[in-house]
Structure 1
Amino acid sequence: MSLSAFVPTNTQKARTTAIAAFKRMLEEENVSMEFFQANILLDNSGKRLAATMDRFGFYLATNEGKKGKLARNTATSYHRNVKLWLFDQYPHLRVPTELILLSKARP
C-alpha cells in the first residue's frame, strides 16, 4: 500500500486538475511533456524548473478559462500542487529550485 492511498480524495482531484492545467500550458506554448522532462533532467541547477514554474504562475494569472479568470486561491493551489508534483518526480531539484524561487520572492 502506497502513501497516496491516505491522501484525501479532494486533494487528489485538485492535484489532477492542476496537472491538467500545467499540461495545457505546455501545449499552448508548443512544448511536449517529453521535451520538458528531458530539459529538466539535463539541468541540475534547478533554473529551468524555476523558470517553468514562473511561467506557469504567469499563465495562471493571465489565462481566461471557460468561467473567466481563476480566483487567486485557486491559482495558488494549482501552482503549489504542480510544484509539489514536480518535486516528487525530480527530488534532486527540490532544494536548488526552492532557493531560486525564494530569492525571487524577496524585494
Structure 2
Amino acid sequence: MSWQDLSPVNSQRWIQTAINAFSRFLAAEGVNMQLFAATLLGDMNGARFVKLMDRSRCILQAQKDEEGRR
C-alpha cells in the first residue's frame, strides 16, 4: 500500500489530471520526459524547475483562456 492509496479518489483524479496536463505541455514543447529528468538532475538550486513550472503554468492558463472563449 502506498500513500496515494490512502488519498481520496478526487485527489487521485486531480493528480492524474495534473500529470496528463504536464505531459501534454512537454509534448507541445517538444521535450521528452528523459530530457526533463536530466535537466532537473543538474538543477541544484531549483531555478530551472521554477522556470519550467512557470512556463508550464503560463501555457496551461493560455489554453484555458482560449477554451473559455469558444
- 1:33 — aligned with what? 33
RMSD across aligned positions (CA): 1.8
Task: Give the structure, 1 or 2, with the largest relative contact order (CA under 8 Å, sep 6 or more).
Answer: 1
Size of the aligned set, in residue pairs, is: 68
Q: What letter corresponds to residue 8 of structure 1 in structure 2?
A: P
Could you tell me the TM-score, scaled by structure 1's length? 0.58
Unmatched 5+ stretches in structure 1: 70-107
Stretches of 4+ aligned residues off by more than 4 angstroms = none
The alignment-based identity, stated in percent, is 37
Deviations 1:44-75 (A, max 9, x none): 1100100011001101110159x914xxxxxx
Structure 2 residue matching 1:68: 3-state secondary structure: helix
- 2:10 — aligned with what? 10
Could you tell me the TM-score, scaled by structure 2's length? 0.87
